[in-house]
Amino acid sequence: MNLLPLFWRLSLLGIATLFFGGCSTVSGAERVSSELATHSYKLRGQGTPVVILEAGLGDGKESWAPILKPISRTATVFAYDRAGYGSSKSTNQSRDGATIVAELRATLRSMELDPPFVLVGHSIGGTYMELFARTYPDDVAGVVLIEARHADFDRQCRAAGARMCDPPAILGALLPRGPKRELAGGDRTMQEVMTAGPFPNVPITVLSSPNKFLEGKQFREVWMDTQESLATLSSKSQHVICDRCGHYIHRDNPELVTSSVVEMVELIRGEIAKQ
């Protein structure tokens, strides 16, 4: 296990939560069904814009425990499990990004949560949130990407001759069915992002960690270059680097992520008040 790159070893920690995390750190979950999926979710707080939390590969709503309550003091926060995680399910076997964001949007509509939303995504969850913003731009007020995977990262990583660009075989072997299908649909997801409509000119905050020591210098350089590229998706952007954080910035520095989300919520409220 120690031979795996940090990026993927941390994903395996999330997988362990799926298998052994019977005692959730996010209590009181409910379920909601739409025409596309049934999702287990947690809804806390009040006020608009509603904050949507999208976890990374192998992670569910429990991964947001460090920031869910603090953000809920300022705004309504929605965290959920994608289909194939916990008790969430879908009749669609495909787990590509377009399917996932369509299911999320249908659930939000079933719950009568009104857009525009602040989308917060970690790792592949950030990729899904970028696709959501490109697909449903009128539903988006702002975006916070936490160590999100750039849609062109894999190609650039290989072109740079970096090592550990691809997920290790053991990752696919250990994944439960839902996350395994997401991993299998990864190339399709990235293509969907690159061929989707333009990213809306809404505020975006990109939170990144340069700590990719096991992956090596070339991997780290490509990672940070593509993180900077994500920060250029909108003219209203900022790129925040957490030097002491790993891939899970919301665990290593929850105060930073909380403040980033709250600041965006307050910025959007201020813009609305001026209208």
Overall number of domains in the chain: 1
Place of tokens 């950030």: 126
- Is 12 inside a domain boundary? yes
- Find out whether 75 and 47 touch, Cβ atoms under 8 Å: yes
Query: What mean pLDDT, rounded, does the chain reach?
Result: 90
Instruction: Report pLDDT digits (tens) over 236-256.
Output: 999 999 999 999 999 999 999
CA atoms within 13 A of residue 192's CA, in its CB half-sphere: 22
pLDDT at 137 over 90: yes
For 94, the enclosing helix (H) or strand (E) is: none
- Is 148 inside a domain boundary? yes
Q: What CATH number has the domain bearing residue 135?
A: 3.40.50.1820
Instruction: Report pLDDT digits (tens) over 150-159.
Output: 999 999 999 9
Return the pLDDT at 175. 84
Return the pLDDT at 125. 98
Return the pLDDT at 26. 56
- Is 146 inside a domain boundary? yes
- Is 92 inside a domain boundary? yes
Return the pLDDT at 119. 98
- Is 26 inside a domain boundary? no
- Is 1 inside a domain boundary? no
Q: What is the pTM of this model?
A: 0.91
pLDDT at 96 over 50: yes
For 42, the enclosing helix (H) or strand (E) is: strand 37-44
- Is 147 inside a domain boundary? yes
- Is 28 inside a domain boundary? no
Range of the domain at 221: 6-20+33-274
Return the pLDDT at 33. 97
